[in-house]
Amino acid sequence: MRNNHEIDYRIFGEEMQCVEIELDPQETVVAEPGGFMYSDHAVQMETLFGDGSTNSGGFLGKLMGAGKRLLTGESLFMTAFTHTGSGKGRVAFASPYPGKIITVDLQKIGNKFICQKDSFLCAAKGVSIGIEFQRKLGTGFFGGEGFIMQKLEGDGLAFIHAGGHIIERTLAPGEVLKIDTGCIVGYTKEVDFDIQFIGGIKNTLFGGEGFFYATLRGPGKVYLQSLPISRLASRIISYSPQMGSRKEEGSILGSLGNLLDGDGR
């Protein structure tokens, strides 16, 4: 028996996926603002202060929940979609960039899942969305994207999105996986997260991968993404004529680059 609302779902698409949630009367799903795609007429939207969990502890609990969301860079509010009619009601949410939607059943993984701060899409009402600080000092200073993570707690279904192709790994006890911090989508609570120095002068100065990488130590399940949104954004910026490294105005190299690109204005 779940304490959180029990919801059914279907995931559509390949590279630009969406998830359609099927609701019974008075069932509710909560989502980040901006993820809504469509709903049936009987599904009503309500803006909630905080994370929308059912055990928020009154106004003070809601205030603390909203403050935690603010620390992760998310909105103070969430949106709740409740089926107010009879029969079945449907509401759908879409990924904000190319990638996959991952279904996480919190009841089956110890009621807690840790994920990147921008990966949460929606969840059954009652799931708590908070923050997970990395406890180790080195991780805090050098963890980058992995320093502040979101934690999803409860016993309901949650949906997270990730960029590019998704790899699911089950780590054995003591097994270590080295990974770029931006490529981590999420992991179960048993996994130990740390930061390790790459080492070597040539690797550090010319490797192009930064000074540190993340280590994930088992046991536990890990989800990885091939295209972090930060990497996608940096590539788009590099190809922008106004913001890229190629200077168009007053630059001989810029003019030559435009000529080679076929842009010979």
Phi, psi of 210 (to 5 degrees): 85, -175
pLDDT digits (tens, 9 = 90+) for 64-109: 555 555 555 556 678 999 999 999 999 999 988 889 999 999 999 9
DSSP 4: S
Q: How many helices (H) and strands (E) does the chain have?
A: 5, 19
Q: Please, which residues have CB within 8 angstroms of residue 140's CB and are 6 or more apart in sequence?
A: 133, 134, 147
Q: Which helix (H) or strand (E) holds 66?
A: helix 58-71
> Mean pLDDT over residues 18-34, rounded?
94
* Whole-number pLDDT of residue 18: 95
Phi, psi of 205 (to 5 degrees): -85, -35
Report how far residue 195's alpha carbon sits from residue 213's, in angstroms, rounded to the nearest whole number. Answer: 6
What domains does the chain contain, in order, with CATH numbers? 8-241 (3.60.160.10)
* E-assigned strand segments in 50-204: 77-83, 89-94, 99-105, 112-116, 120-124, 128-133, 148-153, 157-163, 166-171, 176-179, 184-188, 192-197
DSSP 5: P
Residue 265 in this model has a pLDDT that exceeds 60: no
Residues 69 and 51 sit within 8 Å (Cβ to Cβ): yes
- Of 216, 166, 213, 172, give the one whose Cα is nearest residue 191: 216
pLDDT above 90 covers a percentage of the chain that reads 45
pLDDT digits (tens, 9 = 90+) for 205-228: 544 455 678 899 999 999 999 988
Residue type, 75: S
Q: Which helix (H) or strand (E) holds 252?
A: helix 252-260
Report how far residue 141's alpha carbon sits from residue 134's, in angstroms, rounded to the nearest whole number. Answer: 10
Residues 50 and 66 sit within 8 Å (Cβ to Cβ): yes
Q: Both tokens of residue 41? A: 């007429």
pLDDT digits (tens, 9 = 90+) for 154-169: 999 999 999 999 999 9
**Residue 174 CB coordination number (10 Å):** 9
pTM of the predicted structure, to 2 decimals = 0.76
